Structure 1
Amino acid sequence: MNVEERKLEVLRAIVEDFIATNEPVGSKAIVDRHNLGVSPATIRNDMATLEAEGLIQQPHTSAGRVPTDAGYRLFVDKLTALKPLSPAERRAIETFLDTAVDLDGVLHNAVRALAQITRNVAVVQYPSLSRSRVRHLETVLLSDLRLMLVLITDTGRVEQRVVELPAPVSALDIADLRSALNTRLTGQRLADAPTIVADLPENVPGHLQGLITTLTSVLLEALVEHPSERVVMAGSAHLTDHSLDFPAIRPVLEALEEQVVLLRLLDQQSAASGQILVRIGNENSYEGLQTTSVVSAGYGAAGISLGGVGVLGPRRMDYAHTMARVAAVARYVGDLLAEN
């Protein structure tokens, strides 16, 4: 191999050994553990070059080196293969997800499975309403003066609202209302639905116009995103397993409490279904997460990206292992949504 190839192999050896041992890696260890076919002196020269390029650093006066954020980034960018899931891991994911009966179950089970198999914090984003379509609108008369409106999206999301009516309505009027709503809204993107809702009173039979007007504000509320309900998280306790990797764990915990921060992490990824994104250390814009790495992937159905799934852990993370498992869970979630 040429000099550049060997330097990359030395960097790979340092990253892999540091991930495995959490100890600075020296030239002798690289010679002993990795068959690079060169002398310790050559390895030391390569390490000096890598350090000058900002890819590794010496944490203290020992001879060992550890990767920098830039070193991890180059390592991840040069990964040629991800570590395949073991049969036990596949069974764990399938067992978690096969027991889910609705969208809430799928997402909660997915995040638990991902936290379990990566031993890190896992986060899953609810399907974005803005990318969903209306599958069905149901109207249920609870009493003469109370109506339940149920919105079901093509991603399995269900929004329910109870409406107080100003005057009694008949079951026949409710059936006509249901028909009118589904005629106008079924199959429409939720991002386009507010305009359609605003025009509904002018496009329904006269006897329904008062009822539609009463429902307009409730319909619009059901179509609006609710950020506080859009993220599911599991595995925060795993942070204590990596306490040596975090100079201060409190900023990380505070960041995890901020739904907006987590949504921003996953929103950037959800636009690219199936692609894996890795943000390492200072690549995370939120200061509290700059001692962590975040691996995320978008999930979707029918070729449409709907949300994101990710893992947050230490920079000294087994990237090949984590990336494969995040991608697998994203794929399972997308497949389940497509089936439903």
Structure 2
Amino acid sequence: MSEDRRLDVLRAIVEDYVRTREPVGSRVLTERHQLGVSPATVRNDMAALEEAGYIAQPHTSAGRIPTDKGYRLFVDRLAEVKPLSQPQKRAIETFLSEAVDLDDVMTRAGRLIAQLTGQVAVVQYPSLRRSGLRHLELVPTGENRLLVVVITDTGRVEQRFLDVTPGLDDGLLGELRARLNAAAAGKRLADVGAAFERVTVALPPEVRPLAAAVAELVTETLGEEGEERIVLAGQANLARAGMRFEQGLSPVLEALEEQVVLLGLLTEMVADQSVAVRIGHENRLEGLTEASVVSSGYGTDGDTLAILGSIGPTRMDYPGTIAAVRAVARYLSRVLPT
């Protein structure tokens, strides 16, 4: 059997099954696709694909459906990813560029992926650990309380309170703020501490304790491990009639609720800003063994700041989902605050 022809038959089975949600028979394949061979040859090819584990027969006398292994070969051999139309591209760019702040950007990105794919979208906020410091604000809120506002270069805002000695001089506080901003603006976590330390040692002795306390609070905030936040959108899509899961929806919904574990899966998948695909049992998250995950990193200047993706049944439109995830990741990288 020709290897190329076998791939053509598998591709036709995947495309038909994704579109019709019904097992595919040899007669249907020869009628719908220009395979250039007889139905008997197609049946032989299907038998070989089944023996190799790429397709399976769910019921006696039924057609064939792809297995996880078959979907994997299909995805690995994709000749091209279905491009988005120009109106779709313009709509994505316009919709994201109209966001008013980072929260709005993340929400809009999730809604876009869910609408484009008809599946569940997962969008991670830019990680504080990978963000740079854009601005630091120090705001007295009482006799002995100071509000420390950390604004990152991705537009993320974190607020922390610091206990201080009463009677802070506004002029002194303003000078401290200016010096810390000048020293650390734009620097990542690895470099912020050293920059703050240089500022601290150059200050008068009576100001150093306050400067050291602010510096410690900021570096702790940027270095937090548990601050990762994600947006989920499109969960209602799972309830649509076409989203059939043999084990039901409950395992998938429970997996989506395990956000820390889910984020770990996405992070493990994506090493850079390319698109990665995990199919069925390739997902080590138990509730997603009947699902596929398509994900990509996004960021600025080639630096991956966070991850986004789409989750749906293994019977998904892989070319379309890959194109949607890739497009939103690229546009999100472009509209992030700089």
Per-residue deviation, 1:99: 2.2
Per-residue deviation, 1:37: 1.1
The answer on whether the counterparts of 1:15 and 1:66 sit within 8 Å (CA) in structure 2 is: yes
Runs of 4+ in 1 over 4 A off after TM superposition: 194-201
Q: For 1:26 and 1:198, locate their aligned partners in 2 and report how far apart those are by CA, in whole Å.
A: 71
Counterpart code for 1:36: L
Q: For 2:120 and 2:227, locate their aligned partners in 1 and report how far apart those are by CA, in whole Å.
A: 18
Per-residue deviation, 1:182: 2.0
The answer on whether the counterparts of 1:246 and 1:314 sit within 8 Å (CA) in structure 2 is: no
Q: Deviations 1:18-68 (Å, cap 9, x if unpaired)?
A: 001111111100100001111111001101111111101111102411000
The answer on whether the counterparts of 2:189 and 2:222 sit within 8 Å (CA) in structure 1 is: yes
Match of 1:69 in 2: 68
1:114 counterpart SS class: helix
Q: 1:125 to 1:191 in 2, by over 3 A?
A: farther
Q: 1:167 to 1:312 in 2, by over 3 A?
A: same
Counterpart code for 1:263: L
Q: For 1:256 and 1:200, locate their aligned partners in 2 and report how far apart those are by CA, in whole Å.
A: 45
Per-residue deviation, 1:109: 0.8
Match of 1:126 in 2: 125
Match of 1:204 in 2: 203
Counterpart code for 2:245: D
1:244 counterpart SS class: coil
Of 159-168 and 123-132, more deviation after overlay is shown by: 159-168
Per-residue deviation, 1:262: 2.0
Of 251-260 and 151-160, more deviation after overlay is shown by: 151-160
Per-residue deviation, 1:81: 1.3
Q: For 1:189 and 1:257, locate their aligned partners in 2 and report how far apart those are by CA, in whole Å.
A: 31
Counterpart code for 2:329: A
Of 140-149 and 324-333, more deviation after overlay is shown by: 140-149
Per-residue deviation, 1:88: 4.5
Counterpart code for 1:324: A
Q: For 2:320 and 2:312, locate their aligned partners in 1 and report how far apart those are by CA, in whole Å.
A: 13
Match of 1:102 in 2: 101
Q: 1:228 to 1:217 in 2, by over 3 A?
A: closer
Q: For 1:108 and 1:226, locate their aligned partners in 2 and report how far apart those are by CA, in whole Å.
A: 22
Of 99-108 and 115-124, more deviation after overlay is shown by: 99-108
Residue segments in structure 2 that go unaligned for 5+ positions in a row: none
Q: For 1:320 and 1:238, locate their aligned partners in 2 and report how far apart those are by CA, in whole Å.
A: 19
1:158 aligns with 2:141: no
Counterpart code for 1:258: E
Per-residue deviation, 1:102: 1.6
Match of 1:244 in 2: 244
Match of 1:9 in 2: 8
Q: Deviations 1:131-190 (Å, cap 9, x if unpaired)?
A: 222122122233443322121222221112232322211111111211232243223212
Match of 1:79 in 2: 78
TM-score of the two chains, using structure 2 as the length reference = 0.93
Match of 1:308 in 2: 307
Match of 1:18 in 2: 17
Q: For 2:204 and 2:46, locate their aligned partners in 1 and report how far apart those are by CA, in whole Å.
A: 78
1:186-201 counterparts in 2 under 5 A?
Answer: 186-194=185-193, 201=200
Per-residue deviation, 1:14: 0.4
Q: For 2:132 and 2:99, locate their aligned partners in 1 and report how far apart those are by CA, in whole Å.
A: 22
The answer on whether the counterparts of 1:180 and 1:204 sit within 8 Å (CA) in structure 2 is: no
Q: 1:228 to 1:256 in 2, by over 3 A?
A: farther
Counterpart code for 1:27: S
The answer on whether the counterparts of 1:270 and 1:306 sit within 8 Å (CA) in structure 2 is: no
1:38 aligns with 2:40: no
Of 275-284 and 54-63, more deviation after overlay is shown by: 54-63
Match of 2:233 in 1: 234
Match of 1:254 in 2: 254
Per-residue deviation, 1:225: 3.0
The answer on whether the counterparts of 1:131 and 1:191 sit within 8 Å (CA) in structure 2 is: no
What percentage of residue pairs aligned between the two structures are identical? 52
Q: 1:250 to 1:195 in 2, by over 3 A?
A: farther
Match of 2:49 in 1: 50
Per-residue deviation, 1:278: 0.5
Residue segments in structure 1 that go unaligned for 5+ positions in a row: none
2:174 counterpart SS class: helix
Per-residue deviation, 1:196: 5.4
Counterpart code for 1:279: R
Q: 1:198 to 1:232 in 2, by over 3 A?
A: farther
Q: Deviations 1:66-125 (Å, cap 9, x if unpaired)?
A: 000010000011111111223443344234312211211111111011111111000011
Counterpart code for 2:88: E
